[in-house]
Amino acid sequence: MVNIVDHPVCVPAGIITLRDFRLDDEADLLAAFADDEIARWNPGPIGDDAATGFIWSRNDWSGGDHASWAVADGSDRLVGSVSLHKIDPDQADAEIGYWTAPWGRRRGYAARAVQTASSFAFTRLGLHRVHLYHAVDNPGSCAVARAAGFTHEGTLRESFRYVDGRFHDEHLHGLLETDPLPGGGVRQGRGVTRPGRGRTT
Ligand SMILES: CC(C)(COP(=O)(O)OP(=O)(O)OC[C@H]1O[C@@H](n2cnc3c(N)ncnc32)[C@H](O)[C@@H]1OP(=O)(O)O)[C@@H](O)C(=O)NCCC(=O)NCCS
């Protein structure tokens, strides 16, 4: 059974904390979205009003279709974002997306955030699978997926049109609640036992 969590939940995770976005994150958010790499792969709000709208929408979990967090470092500064979205209670799965601001990169924050959000998906939401897509031209994202324990499941041909207007090949990576934790150990998943359904034909 999948649980709907309809309010932001703070998750301490060692070097980072997954927390809600705050209005005092706005300047850091705008600086992050002005970064060329984030603008290329995860375009976000431009301008104060849009940043405020982003904050409100990421903190509003009431629809049950996403669980989104600001990633904060040890000083509680915003260093990134991670989001479980397209949560599908019927299929017990979700997609995950992430970025790290330029001032937080190469410190293990994205990998830790993806691991932590995925564990939340399995243990709190009761999901069975989390997956992600990234452009083949984005090897940093591929490294994060692998570091977080996701398996490369295939390459999709020209599957998404990014900001440059081109259709890019993408990798699909997936993580199951039954997959081992990176570095060994067993995940405490809840198991999905309800009946499934046929694919739409
Ligand atoms: C890609 C991105 C998320 C990496 O964030 P990060 O916090 O620096 O990543 P981490 O420090 O957790 O690194 C995890 C692993 O990825 C590797 N890595 C990180 N950035 C990399 C890069 N640009 N190229 C190659 N490897 C990279 C690290 O070395 C580490 O590998 P290891 O576990 O073998 O040591 C960040 O650079 C970013 O936000 N880029 C722009 C937006 C983006 O690409 N979002 C993802 C869209 S799908």
The pLDDT value given to residue 189: 58
* Residue with CA nearest ligand 1 atom 31: 143
Residues near ligand 1 (Cβ within 6 A): 37-38, 41-42, 98-100, 105-111, 134, 138-141, 143-144, 147
Residue nearest to atom 10 of ligand 1 (CA): 108
Please state whether 165 falls in left (phi above 0), alpha (psi between -120 and 50) or beta: left
Could you tell me if residue 87 is inside a domain?
A: yes
For residue 28, is it within any domain?
yes
As averages over each run of 10 residues, the pLDDT of the chain (201 residues) reads 93 98 96 96 87 96 98 98 98 98 98 98 98 98 98 98 97 96 71 68 71
CA distance 62 to 1: 18
Residue 119's pLDDT is 98
pLDDT in tens, 3-33: 989 999 999 999 999 999 999 999 999 999 9
State the Cα–Cα distance between residues 147 and 95, nearest whole angstrom: 17
Burial environment of residue 166 by CB neighbours within 10 A (0 to 12, 13 to 18, 19 or more): exposed
* In-domain check, residue 201: no
Domain that holds residue 167: 11-176
Q: Based on the structure, what is the number of domains in the chain?
A: 1
Look up the CATH number of the domain holding residue 114. Answer: 3.40.630.30
Helix (H, G, I), strand (E, B) or coil at 149: coil
Tokens of 168: 């890019």
For residue 138, the ligand 1 atom closest to its alpha carbon is: 44
pLDDT tens digits, residue range 187-197?
A: 765 555 567 77
Please check whether residue 199 lies inside any domain of the structure: no
CA distances from 71 to 83, 99, 100 (A): 10, 9, 8
Whether residue 166 lies inside any domain: the answer is yes
Exposure of 70 in the CB half-sphere (CA atoms within 13 A): 24
pLDDT of residue 194: 66
Distance from the alpha carbon of residue 108 to the mean position of ligand 1, in angstroms: 8
Residue 193 lies in a domain: no
- Side-by-side strand order, sheet with 167-176: 11-13, 16-19, 67-72, 78-88, 93-100, 129-135, 167-176, 151-161
Q: Is residue 118 part of a domain?
A: yes
Domain contains 172:
yes
